[in-house]
Structure 1
């Protein structure tokens, strides 16, 4: 069983740096929220009754 406290082992196994990406998620969410508050949306957007979220490749 791998020792999850062994940072060298994690770095060796985690070639895509997913542990770092996951650890940065709260900061990314905060930045996204901050940017969303600056948006000025047309008033007719209030009439929307459906939202479609699409992703491609690794974005999901």
Structure 2
């Protein structure tokens, strides 16, 4: 549904990077690796939180 606020493994805040990452990597032509490097997300556990997230709010909302 919503991007997790903190990384499940290390506890760093990752939600603050989601909007910019989504705009630049998923909707643009930029490489996700380069976007995460520029945002300062260094740990691989935090990177996977952003790369593997699927936004399902639009799909699930009609059923509420």
TM, length-normalised to structure 2: 0.27
Of the two, which has the highest radius of gyration? 1
TM, length-normalised to structure 1: 0.28
